[in-house]
Chain A
């Protein structure tokens, strides 16, 4: 069902009393026991320490360790799913608990042959956001999220209702927070799975869009504001240089980004790394040169490679050990690049990736 018809017609939900954690766990347990899925991919709280990490759970008894939609993103799920399926797709069904931006990133991975959706059953949510997790999050000097508890990326995310690839969507972020667990059945697969679930009733309800109108309006205002006047809004070379003056070159932003999947990044190759002779030359010409050079080349380059696909998840900022709001730049760049290419990353599997396609009569305004 396309989101457009849904917007007017509403949809079918499964409903059970109580909070969503138990509700979702109950679904996962039943799916595992009945054999409809062979494993569950979810955030899990590792017993014995206070960490959360993504796990593939195949024992129904361990579903109680699953913490579906816990507001943390230790690893961007797309990265984990890409690792899982990049060399060969799943041969057995797996239920995947995933946030909208993670799902969009994974769809991009799949389009770029970095993973496969085969045999995945996606359970997503209307997303309230996640909090910062890095150690630098304690001080909000430049670190995203300062104050609200949610990442900046989340507070300006207007894509919090998952697109077509989601099979089920839990209503989590809504104009009026639901008192029970309500999950939209979006795909045929979801509808037929729902028939075998016990402890749920099936109800007709308004569309997700109808239930999240006020949130959408608020987020879109925040987004506009952020893009126009947010911190580090494109104010030129000097600002850019000072923003990255404290970059330690650790590349955590790249490594954490679900879309930077290259095994060998361009910015680790002889193509872009200045050889010592060139460093000497540039240092002589400018009087001095930062060593190693290449900070701006790397970030500008990564922006060029990723802005068309960036899903605005904020993971790069979260990973930065020195609190540089990297994602802010990517979100802002994406907000210009993606409309220019008329591309909405990860919304569906069908749209061709923007740099592998073109129209003969477009973008004439940028040529002279």
Chain B
């Protein structure tokens, strides 16, 4: 891997901003998609067409309000001649890769630039006061605390190594970006590699521990049902998830409606039955559909008004399903989605 020196002497945030400005100025892109600060300390994604429009851009906001891949699938959902450079978090870029495979994002004129991600704080702990750079690591979302893919995703990534900013071109497109910006001087990635490996090992450990615990917590339908006991059925988890792109979800199909008598029967069998009744069906069905592509971004969990750790559950289930196929969501745009491909001789252990 090469690391090309960029924006010397600037903090990471400024380096990312400078990249945004130069991409527009040098005509590398027609638009930059980047988070931007709005009224009341809110953050939204904007598609900026001119350097002027970047005045409130904030490439490292303290919170994730909308998953970048979701924003991108609206802006780049079909082939277009407009070139977009998106500055997003690693998990957002990984989700974007999954969404490309699901053909909801057209990659042809798109460049994804990520960074060494410091993580974001939990949406409901964000008081609006925190300046982006001073968000309290204690408030980092659980998803971020167990994230091991926090850098080097997308077409290019800007990382910090021994106090300099280095741009890593990760794909051919990343290489083009580097040359169009005239980056040539190589810097040493040693400090970055070492730090990254250490943090990755630590996070993998955290993730494994958390997953083991969670696996026990939800083992069995009764416990799973308890896990979702407070679920209000608002489907926010699905709506904000970049992978769940369907406009009409399976759970909202008319043929899923059941007559009143079937609910009464259910009640008679166990003395009492919950209404609404489709909570588990929804969550299990959703995980069956998309957990394999879950990038563990934690957006769903952040959005859940009932405070259910739903993202950790999906990503735990996803870790299991993707291990079956030795698949890593969002890593490699060329690798086909496991459920869109097959190998003649595989999975015999599931046959009886």
Contacts and interface: CB of A to CB of B under 8 A. Distances in A.
Do A and B associate with each other? yes
Interface of A: 38-39, 41, 44, 46, 48-49, 51, 53-59, 61-62, 65, 74-75, 79-81, 83-92, 94, 133-136, 138-139, 141, 241-242, 245-246, 248-252, 255-256, 263-264, 268-269, 273-277, 279-280, 283-284, 287-293, 318-322
A56 B234 contact: no
A74 B232 contact: yes
B39 A287 contact: no
A54 B252 CA distance: 20
B66 A249 contact: yes
Contact of B305 (A57, A65, A134): A134
A266 B74 CA distance: 16
B274 A55 contact: yes
B182 interface: no
Interface in B264-315: 264, 266-268, 271-278, 302-307
12 contacts: A41-B275, A51-B229, A74-B232, A75-B276, A83-B277, A135-B305, A245-B38, A249-B66, A264-B252, A280-B47, A288-B48, A321-B303
Contacts of A322: 65, 123-124
Contacts of A251: 234-236, 239
B50 to A, nearest CB: 5
A283 B305 contact: no
Interface of B: 30-31, 33, 36, 38-40, 42-50, 52-53, 65-66, 70-72, 74-78, 80, 82, 123-124, 127-128, 226, 229-230, 232-236, 239-240, 247-248, 252-254, 257-261, 263-264, 266-268, 271-278, 302-307
Most-contacted residue by chain A among B40, B70, B272 (CB, 10 A): B272
Most-contacted residue by chain B among A84, A269, A288 (CB, 10 A): A288
B191 to A, nearest CB: 35
Given A141-B128, A248-B123, A291-B74, 9 more contacts: A49-B229, A58-B272, A83-B275, A245-B38, A251-B239, A276-B74, A280-B47, A283-B31, A321-B305
Given A252-B235, A283-B48, A246 B274 contact: no
B124 A48 contact: no
A54 B259 CA distance: 18
A86 B257 contact: yes
Given A242-B39, A280-B82, A88 B259 contact: yes
A351 B76 CA distance: 47
Contacts of A38: 264
Contact of A88 (B240, B260, B273): B260
A118 B53 CA distance: 58
A46 B229 contact: yes
B80 A80 contact: no
B260 A57 contact: no
A292 B70 CA distance: 8
A73 B240 CA distance: 24
A55 B273 contact: yes
Contact of A57 (B48, B53, B271): B271
Contacts of A293: 74
B305 A252 contact: yes
B22 to A, nearest CB: 17
Nearest to B257: A87
Nearest to B251: A263
A274 to B, nearest CB: 7
Given A53-B274, A62-B271, A283-B47, A245 B263 contact: no
Nearest to B73: A292
B124 A135 contact: yes
A321 B258 contact: no
In the A-B complex, list the 6 residue pairs whose CB atoms are closest, starting with the nearest.
Answer: A59-B271, A242-B39, A292-B74, A250-B236, A288-B53, A252-B234
A245 B50 contact: no
Given A245-B42, A264-B252, A279 B75 contact: yes
A81 B253 CA distance: 18
B75 A276 contact: yes
Nearest to A89: B260
Nearest to A316: B234
B39 A58 contact: no
B51 to A, nearest CB: 10
B8 to A, nearest CB: 29
A131 B45 CA distance: 34
Most-contacted residue by chain A among B31, B45, B240, B271 (CB, 10 A): B271
A41 to B, nearest CB: 7
A245 B236 contact: no
A218 to B, nearest CB: 30
A241 B124 CA distance: 21
Nearest to A251: B239
Contacts of A139: 124, 127
Contacts of A256: 232-234
B136 to A, nearest CB: 16
Contacts of B266: 56
Given A255-B236, A321-B303, A280 B40 contact: no
Nearest to A82: B276
